[in-house]
Amino acid sequence: MNNKVVLSEDAKRHFESYINLINVTLDDYLSVRGLPYQIVADACKYSVENGGKRLRPIIVLEFCKLCKGNIADAISFACALEMIHTYSLIHDDLPCMDNDIFRRGQESCHKKFGEDYALLAGDALLTYAFQIASNAGVPPAKTVRCIRALANYAGIFGMIGGQTLDIQNEGRKDLTLEELAETHRLKTGALFRAAAEIGCITGNATCQQYDAARIFAENIGIAFQIIDDVLDVIGNPEELGKEVGQDIENDKVTYVTLLGVEGAKKLAEKHTEKAIKALKTFENAELAIEGTKYLLGRTF
């Protein structure tokens, strides 16, 4: 099993440039002042800007670039996707869902602002995401395709469908590996597929590039979830910025439950290898491959 991967200086600069652009753009969108309902705007900004890896918007920008597109065409969609992701975390943390009191090392939104405002903040971010996407400044046909991808993967046929399955699976002792994989293909993987697809749309990808991006996203989404399951068992709460052991507390069947820690690690490695193989379809994908290895290595 691989040890933790250390990014090269070139890779650090590459991904930090994306993160800086994403954070500056998000701050611009979220720096709203003087509203009579300012508390909800503040809750939105707090939740989006309280850390996070920005992995999904990075994938948008990276696939746009790998397809030789202009990342200026992709940045609004990338930020919209991050807002959708953040809304899902706000709602996931609510007492009626996972009841997490910490997110990214800080109080979760409902602990800081109250459940009512947290619920509204999540709703606001979801809606604002589509407002931003509709004003992305790219040709209308491309805008429609990106908005369609956001809606398809974030809604009932994607992330929401997976979250519903996740709730239905709680307490089930007969859950199979195939059923678990389908749950997370939707719950976690859908937004990864949205990110890769939007990057391809904005980058004017070829059919071969679309296929490779889809394979990458499907596999990195599964690997990411497996790693999260492993971290919930062996992770350090200070490093993760949230409590561990929540899956056991919520009576959830996970990849670790079914395969054990070592079996889950091996499966994550297998899916990461498939994701890397897909990236090799693209020219100049060395830094993307390095970043993918780093994502796996954050745990092992």
Q: pLDDT tens digit string along 204-250?
A: 999 999 999 999 999 999 999 999 899 888 865 555 454 555 666 55
Taking each helix axis from N to C terminus, what angle separates 75-93 and 55-66, rounded to the nearest 10 degrees?
Answer: 160
| pTM for this entry | 0.92
Q: Is the pLDDT of residue 299 over 70?
A: no
Alpha carbon distances (Å) from 174 to 134, 226, 253: 44, 19, 9
Q: pLDDT tens digit string along 237-294?
A: 555 454 555 666 556 789 999 999 999 999 999 999 999 999 999 999 999 999 999 9
Q: pLDDT tens digit string along 118-129?
A: 999 999 999 999
What per-residue confidence (pLDDT) applies to 105?
81
Contacts with 119 (C-beta within 8 Å, 6 or more apart), sequence order: 90, 91, 94, 110
Contacts with 75 (C-beta within 8 Å, 6 or more apart), sequence order: 21, 22, 25, 61
User: How far is Cα 270 from Cα 120, in angstroms, rounded to an integer?
Assistant: 40
Q: pLDDT tens digit string along 98-151?
A: 888 888 789 999 999 999 999 999 999 999 999 999 999 999 999 999 999 999
Nearest to residue 128, comparing CAs of 171, 85, 96?
Answer: 85
What per-residue confidence (pLDDT) applies to 248?
61
**To which H or E segment does residue 106 belong?**
strand 106-107
* Average pLDDT value for the chain: 91
Q: Which domains does the chain have, with CATH numbers?
A: 9-297 (1.10.600.10)
Alpha helices in the chain (DSSP H): 9-30, 38-48, 55-66, 75-93, 109-113, 115-134, 140-154, 159-169, 177-187, 189-202, 207-234, 237-240, 246-249, 255-279, 286-297
| Structure token pair of residue 266 | 């091996």
Q: pLDDT tens digit string along 12-62?
A: 999 999 999 999 999 999 999 999 999 999 999 999 998 888 999 999 999
Alpha carbon distances (Å) from 37 to 18, 87, 89, 94: 32, 18, 22, 21
